[in-house]
Structure 1
Amino acid sequence: MGHHQTLMEGEDTCPYDAFYASKEAETWRSNALLTVDAILVVIMVGIGAYGHHYRHRPFTRFLYDGATSLFLPIMSYVVSGIGGTYMTAFTNAHSAILVGECQAAFTTRLVIGWACLVQIVAINISVVVAGDEREGRNTGPSVVLLVQAMWTCYLAIYYAGLDIDTFGFVFKTFAARMSSLLGFLYLGTFVIIFAKMTFKFHAFYKVRRSIALGLNPRLVVGYMEQLNNRSQPSERAPPPLLVMGEETSRVKKQPRGYCFVRMSEEARTNNMLVTIDKIWLLEDMLLGSSTRLKDVCLSFTLFKLLRCRFARYTIAEAGFHKVNNFFWRVLLKDGDDERVFRVIADELSFLYDYYYSSLSISYPSRRMSILSIIISLLSIGGCLSLMFALRGYWSYASQFVCEVNCPATHDKLEYLGFGNYYIDHVLVHLLAALVVLTEARDIASYICSNWTKVALICGYVKHASWQQSRAWRGCVSRVLQCRCKLFKIWEDKMNQCSILMLRPAKTPLAFLGRLINTPQRKKKIPRAVKASIINALRSYEESRRTNGMASMPRSLQVGEELCWMFDDEGTCDTMLVCHIATSILEVRSHQHQPFSNHRITATHLSRYCAYLVAYSPELLPDDDAWCKSLYEAVKKDADRALAGGIRASTPEAEYHQLVELLSTRPMHEVLQKGVELGKRLAGMIEREDTIWEVLAGFWSEMILYVAPSENINGHAEAIARGGELITLLWALLAHVGIVGRSHNAPVSASDVV
């Protein structure tokens, strides 16, 4: 770890060994703490910037909060321990005194510079939300980050102000030290930190008072009241819902929020207010043939409506009924199931950006976006300059330099070095590169985000000069074509979970997943699943009344003896019974690859519903604590029965062994019902295609039945995790006019046989 030069005479009387051991231990301790701090930085940045799907889970939130809380105290301890000049003295049995005068001035500066870079990253990934008070989601700029920045500035002034002049310790003022290139770069770093904090505070308070952003739900509600049913311009176009331009129109307060001063058709047409029908009906080479771009603007409009629901306005107050006819008449009639899911996914993406992104407060404003990009470019330039300037300091070989003297023996002065200086260099360069990456990511998000696309499209619609200028058209077209998967929140995947784990994975990753109680796997949503759900939605009234259970006994003609399974059952009971039956049928099935679309739909939705019961019961109709306890009880019985595993060579043998294991001892009632239903379905294997078709319809109806909910907070948490299929369906159903479940009693056997 350390190294030293050979000492002159007097080694037998002066306590050199004790001095070496003490300084090497101190060097090891400092570097160990710096390594811990580096790990904490990785956790902070990884979870804060790139782990949005996991940031809001309890375990990762604990890691993030712990790393944020411990980083600065550890760094301060290291700086206070190595900063400045300090004396150490050792005495041996002969009363010979060895005096060591040590300093680590440049190491201290690098550590403080490292802390400054971490502050920039922390500011970049901090979330600021400026919403309506009714939403209850306002999150101002972090005062803790401001205090940490001030404390880091104090450490820089107090400790980094000490310099060395031929090992004679001379105190230089901070202003004098700033004359050097490195000092100027450090000063620039602090300027960037406080500029970013000032920008965050200014943007937060400005956006919070903006009628187009922070107060927008109140205006949307007032605007929807002002609209009349005759304002829809075309059968294929959406109603004139707000997109952008509210800040350019005169508004006034009213008892229930805000409304526009003039609301005649002429005023709406001539002012700078952009509504979705203007974009939809625009016949233009740039936008006229691009359904994708028009759909992004539609998603932005729907996002504004959905914000009203998060602001605790009712569906009627927010005017959801104005858009449901358009959904039924256009989107759900086009036969493009992927398009419907994409529109709602983009809507939830806008909502995620607004509530959980670090850039949402500056997305909609052109000036704030440009200012933020300028600050980011300055930050990138400063980091690159810092890495370039540090090239001249690679000659420093040691982290600590000590001047050693033994007065009793009149030994010659020795200069000893401890620690490897390259450790500090590597850490600073890695962090500087990390800052560059985060700043570049922010700049790219401004250019490629859907917010920018909507703003450009609205500007293009409002300004005729843009439409007539070939240069403007070219610039707008290039930006609109820009896409980046890095900023895609919705992964188009669904979690999968199964009670009957016939062959549980034994990899370390799978064991860790079971230890921290995470879903077993995540799969891309098959197109067949989307098509089946949309087809069920087109005939939603029956599934809404019976929660899907009426179709299965009637279609399969299983008779009255099985209908008792579904009488007086909760939703979670029904889902688990049918999940177990579907899993048993999957084992029994003779069908080989490729599987039919109906089988793919039934198995994927069955495992997804089991995941909802196990991991997200708050999104289901039944009590969440009861659902979770029910799943754990059934899962425990199933695992106990299948502990020995399934050993069979054919699907039929595997099926018989599975049923035998699940029937040899008393089991939970839900497990018994699931096995009995599974046996009955497997007994009709000659009608396999029909069985899978009916099960696909049942599970599609079931997921539509459980999706409507008033649990807005639960869906908000799901959006924070990156989105759930049931949350996407929740938003879709609200836009087509389905906002709650039927409270009718469960359908009886006499009704379905």
Structure 2
Amino acid sequence: MGYSYHKSTISSSALITLTCPNTIDLFLRNLTSSYADKSNESSVVTTSIFMFVLVAVFFNLNLFSRVSNTSAVLKPTARYFLSAAISLFLPIMSYLLSEAKGDAGESQGKDLPVQARFILMWMLFVELLRKKVEAVLVSGGMQRGYSGIITHATAVAWLGYLVFFNLKVADQVAVFGTLWLICAAKFVQRVAFTEIGRRSLAYGKNARLLSSYMAQLQLQARRGQQDAAPSERLKMCEYAVMGEEKLVLEPGPHGYVLDLNRDTVDHNVITVGKIWQLAESHSHEVLFTPNPRLKRLCLSFALFKLLRRRFEHLPLTTKEETDLCRDLIFEYICGDKGIVSDQSGVALFQLLKDEISFMCEYHHSVYPVVLASPRFLVVNYLVFPLVVAVFCFMTLAISAKGHMMSALSRIMVHNGIFTVAECLWKNVLRSQAAFFSAISISISYLLFIAFIYEEVEEFLVLVLSNWFVVSMLSSYTAKPRQSPAYSGTLHCISWVNEKLSFAGFITFKQLSVLSVSWLPMMLPTVSLPKQAKSLIMERLFSSAGSPAPLSNGQYVLDCRPQERDLSWFCESDSIAEVILTWHIATSLLEMPCRQGQEEMPWDDHKVVAARLSKYCAYLVAFHPELLPDDLEGTKHAYKVMKKDLKDTLGCWDYYFAPERDRYDKMMAEAARSENEAWPDCQQGKMNVVQKGAILGKMLIEESKAGERSIWELLAHLWVELIVYVAPSSREEQVKGHEEALGQGGELITLLWTLATHTGLTRPPPKSIVIQHVEDVEEMLRQRVEKKFYETRSHE
């Protein structure tokens, strides 16, 4: 891998005893001479250790990060670490390269020493792995300038200078020149993905195109589906899946001017309705019957394209659109009978999870999954490698000055690189120099394997991605008489994709104020229970037509006359205070149940209430920007709660005591202050910790008469709270959901997505009622008209 057997002067002190073949003995002596030079030993060891740590991280991420996940989004923690490491990598390694050249480079005169060549090789491989931490940005609404491209181009140019101005031997120039050429090709490829995507009507400009499409579609007054039966409405849905860019005639002053002639749309655009009609036809049951997810996936993709308008600050959806979208989603989920069941909740969250998956990968993917299609795979993984191979062949021919066979023989003589590794491992315990030399060889191997695996993984992720499935499904819908091989391939890919993506499996963090752990990375993660999905689905369905407006828990308590005394604990303008109060109470009720019934299965309602309680507390603590209250107000409420909790528990118990001791102190505080503080509770003078402790004591006492009914109440109350905080239209909260996409999305983001599509809103706060200018103007206009007609009637 870039070594040669040229003659060089080596001092006798640099020689070590190695049992190696004569053909590579001189190379090994060149390699180990760096370690024999005591003045240079520290820098060489530091270089090897630094690279070993970095390559271990890359190797681990590549081999083990997506064993059971086809997502193209890398975890933010790993991306931040690798981004910082790579930003420092080039200058540090350039310095170490100059140190490795040192006097040896001057004595040899024409070539780099072996250790310097290893450092240069590592720099090239790390540059090839750079894409692991760089998202492919094809969104027109998220352009971040060209600073990243310029930085990347500078790094590639610098590496080219190091390769072609420091290496003189033909076989070395061929090997390192080929690696640099691949680096340059990958950079050009990355720039092409970004720029083509940003300028494309199908990708970067698609959100603006969809705004024009939906607006002009409504002007066409195509209301036939309003009178259609629920089972037929989805077959008439004109939400675009693919091909809408073919309708553009020209940009106009209020968006794109589109050709919405019925024949033009039917010929060019693949809609949800077309796919639904195809799925219901008997001739295509072989494809869709064993793959019911295909229909849902195309609906998720169409909804994702509509949701992009919200993230890119385009005009909001109209009431007609939200009404239609609400009917389509709930009719798809509940069917013709409109019955909410456990399967309805599962289907709803599978639909939303796929939509958020599209959004996450669109904004944060490190692979070009957005462009995934059969044509893209041919161009990117067949044509492009052939072009790069031609340039590599030309590089070899130029560096060898036409003597290509001679250069190849020097590169591959006796499979030298494998012989070197075998020789070093045989002597690794006999010599310090051999030990560190083996590390250098191993680092090169691991980087090479990581690069190869990265290329294979990228191909597999693209082929198994939702984007590729939707692309194939759209092509199949456009030409349904495809060959059996095409439909069979689509069936196999969609089946594997579903198995690897764990559709419907939703996880979220848990925070308990009675727990010792307060760091987000140490918090446990649990899954959303099926019972919670059905309860949330039921609550959303009941509020769809606004017969049951959302509340901060009051609605649930008002529906139970025997529990109306607890409504005092919901009377607060701060949703954060309500969440923390009921979370403390739920945690206190949960403690004796968890310790006294460890071997007994938990009731479904108990699991729902406990998990949603801890998740809402987690939102208050770590994602206040996702809640409807003002950001600073939510942070202040949480900060005050922590201070009051510390005063109640004491400093030692607050940080170090087990949960049982915290529980005992909280119950003692509740018993001591209940009688004297109860009037203050009704007057709003009690702090959150006191209110939560007293409420917890009340729930524990009531649970003695009927524990199941208490947990059922809490389950519905926490469902009410999480549905209540989901809708939001403020830019602060939209930005928070956008940032949460980098983490894979939160549970609250799924519900916010549904609220955005269906127009679900919460009542305005009682303490602050703002009347918009438009409403005031409308009110004045109505008064003027009323006065005018009254005057006319008197006349």
Per the normalisation by structure 1, the TM-score is: 0.79
Which has the larger helix fraction? 2
Answer yes or no: is the 8 Å Cα contact 2:300–2:352 preserved in 1.
Answer: yes
Query: What is aligned with 1:552?
Result: 557
Instruction: State the shift of 1:444 in Å.
Output: 0.3
Q: Distance in 2 between matches of 1:626 and 1:287?
A: 53
Residue by residue over 1:31-61, the C-alpha shift from the partner in whole angstroms, topping out at 9 and shown as x without a partner, is 212321342455577779959888446xx66
AA of the residue aligned to 1:208: R
Q: Distance in 2 between matches of 1:707 and 1:77?
A: 52
Instruction: State the shift of 1:154 in Å.
Output: 1.3
Query: What is aligned with 1:507?
Result: none
| 1:274 paired to 2:270 | yes
Answer yes or no: is the 8 Å Cα contact 2:554–2:567 preserved in 1.
Answer: no
Answer yes or no: is the 8 Å Cα contact 1:114–1:428 preserved in 2.
Answer: yes
Query: What is aligned with 1:603?
Result: 610
Q: Return closer, same or farther for 1:220/1:328 CA change in 2, 3 Å cut-off.
A: same
After superposition, where does 1:471-550 map in structure 2 within 5 Å? 471-483=485-497, 492-501=506-515, 504=516, 514=518, 517-518=520-521, 520-540=523-543, 541=546, 544-550=549-555
Instruction: State the shift of 1:86 in Å.
Output: 3.4
After superposition, where does 1:617-696 map in structure 2 within 5 Å? 617-639=624-646, 641-642=648-649, 643-644=652-653, 658-661=666-669, 669-685=687-703, 686-696=705-715
After superposition, where does 1:370-519 map in structure 2 within 5 Å? 370-374=378-382, 390-394=417-421, 420-466=436-482, 469-483=483-497, 492-501=506-515, 504=516, 514=518, 517-518=520-521
AA of the residue aligned to 2:270: V
Residue by residue over 1:263-319, the C-alpha shift from the partner in whole angstroms, topping out at 9 and shown as x without a partner, is 2333322x1311110001112134432320111111110110001111213432594
Q: Return closer, same or farther for 1:258/1:654 CA change in 2, 3 Å cut-off.
A: closer
AA of the residue aligned to 1:327: I
Q: Return closer, same or farther for 1:587/1:250 CA change in 2, 3 Å cut-off.
A: closer
Q: Distance in 1 between matches of 2:111 and 2:434?
A: 11
User: Which of these residues, 214, 219, 230, is aligned with residue 235 of structure 1?
Assistant: 230
Residue by residue over 1:247-271, the C-alpha shift from the partner in whole angstroms, topping out at 9 and shown as x without a partner, is 444433232222422x2333322x1
Q: Secondary structure at the match of 1:539?
A: helix
AA of the residue aligned to 2:223: R
Q: Distance in 1 between matches of 2:579 and 2:753?
A: 22
Query: What is aligned with 2:574?
Result: 570
Q: Secondary structure at the match of 1:30?
A: helix
Residue by residue over 1:427-475, the C-alpha shift from the partner in whole angstroms, topping out at 9 and shown as x without a partner, is 1100001111111110001110010000001111111441xx2233333
Instruction: State the shift of 1:212 in Å.
Output: 1.2
Q: Distance in 2 between matches of 1:488 and 1:554?
A: 37
User: Which of these residues, 203, 207, 211, is aligned with residue 221 of structure 1?
Assistant: 211
Q: Return closer, same or farther for 1:136/1:201 CA change in 2, 3 Å cut-off.
A: closer
Q: Secondary structure at the match of 1:352?
A: helix
Q: Return closer, same or farther for 1:554/1:675 CA change in 2, 3 Å cut-off.
A: farther
Q: Distance in 2 between matches of 1:302 and 1:496?
A: 29
Query: What is aligned with 1:285?
Result: 285
Q: Distance in 1 between matches of 2:662 and 2:743?
A: 37
User: Which of these residues, 720, 727, 730, is aligned with residue 701 of structure 1?
Assistant: 720
Query: What is aligned with 2:351?
Result: 343
User: Which of these residues, 241, 262, 278, is aligned with residue 265 of structure 1?
Assistant: 262
Q: Return closer, same or farther for 1:661/1:485 CA change in 2, 3 Å cut-off.
A: farther
Which has the larger strand fraction? 1
Q: Distance in 2 between matches of 1:646 and 1:358?
A: 43
Q: Return closer, same or farther for 1:481/1:139 CA change in 2, 3 Å cut-off.
A: farther
Q: Secondary structure at the match of 1:610?
A: helix
Runs of 5+ consecutive residues of structure 1 not aligned to the other structure: 7-18, 89-98, 162-171, 399-415, 505-509, 748-753
Q: Return closer, same or farther for 1:437/1:596 CA change in 2, 3 Å cut-off.
A: same
Query: What is aligned with 2:316?
Result: 315
Answer yes or no: is the 8 Å Cα contact 1:577–1:671 preserved in 2.
Answer: yes
Instruction: State the shift of 1:346 in Å.
Output: 0.6
Q: Distance in 1 between matches of 2:151 and 2:513?
A: 45
Identify which range, 62-71 or 569-578, moves more after superposition: 62-71
Query: What is aligned with 1:413?
Result: none
Q: Secondary structure at the match of 1:578?
A: helix
Query: What is aligned with 2:23?
Result: none
Answer yes or no: is the 8 Å Cα contact 2:35–2:44 preserved in 1.
Answer: no
Identify which range, 584-593 or 211-220, moves more after superposition: 584-593
Identify which range, 697-706 or 310-319, moves more after superposition: 310-319
Q: Distance in 1 between matches of 2:767 and 2:551?
A: 7
Q: Return closer, same or farther for 1:571/1:338 CA change in 2, 3 Å cut-off.
A: same
Q: Return closer, same or farther for 1:26/1:500 CA change in 2, 3 Å cut-off.
A: same
Identity %: 27
Query: What is aligned with 1:207?
Result: 197
Q: Distance in 1 between matches of 2:662 and 2:198?
A: 61
Residue by residue over 1:571-619, the C-alpha shift from the partner in whole angstroms, topping out at 9 and shown as x without a partner, is 0011111111111121244666211111111111111110000000000
Query: What is aligned with 2:751?
Result: 729
Residue by residue over 1:467-490, the C-alpha shift from the partner in whole angstroms, topping out at 9 and shown as x without a partner, is xx2233333333332327777799
Q: Secondary structure at the match of 1:86?
A: helix
User: Which of these residues, 150, 154, 166, is aligned with residue 143 of structure 1?
Assistant: 150
Q: Distance in 2 between matches of 1:251 and 1:470?
A: 36
| 1:743 paired to 2:764 | yes
Q: Distance in 1 between matches of 2:480 and 2:616?
A: 51
Instruction: State the shift of 1:713 in Å.
Output: 0.8
Instruction: State the shift of 1:329 in Å.
Output: 2.2
Q: Secondary structure at the match of 1:430?
A: helix
Instruction: State the shift of 1:349 in Å.
Output: 0.7
Identify which range, 214-223 or 224-233, moves more after superposition: 224-233
AA of the residue aligned to 1:480: S
Instruction: State the shift of 1:744 in Å.
Output: 4.3
Equivalent residues, number: 665
Answer yes or no: is the 8 Å Cα contact 1:245–1:273 preserved in 2.
Answer: yes
Residue by residue over 1:521-540, the C-alpha shift from the partner in whole angstroms, topping out at 9 and shown as x without a partner, is 11111111111111111222
Q: Return closer, same or farther for 1:187/1:625 CA change in 2, 3 Å cut-off.
A: same
Q: Distance in 2 between matches of 1:440 and 1:635?
A: 49
Q: Return closer, same or farther for 1:116/1:662 CA change in 2, 3 Å cut-off.
A: farther
Q: Return closer, same or farther for 1:587/1:483 CA change in 2, 3 Å cut-off.
A: same
Identify which range, 666-675 or 490-499, moves more after superposition: 666-675
Answer yes or no: is the 8 Å Cα contact 2:508–2:747 preserved in 1.
Answer: yes
Q: Distance in 2 between matches of 1:395 and 1:733?
A: 62
Per the normalisation by structure 2, the TM-score is: 0.75
Answer yes or no: is the 8 Å Cα contact 2:79–2:133 preserved in 1.
Answer: no
Q: Secondary structure at the match of 1:130?
A: coil
Answer yes or no: is the 8 Å Cα contact 1:196–1:375 preserved in 2.
Answer: no
Query: What is aligned with 1:36?
Result: 50
Q: Return closer, same or farther for 1:524/1:546 CA change in 2, 3 Å cut-off.
A: closer
State the Cα RMSD in Å: 3.8
Q: Return closer, same or farther for 1:293/1:54 CA change in 2, 3 Å cut-off.
A: closer
Residue by residue over 1:134-183, the C-alpha shift from the partner in whole angstroms, topping out at 9 and shown as x without a partner, is x556788632222111111211223333xxxxxxxxxx5xxxx1xx3x64
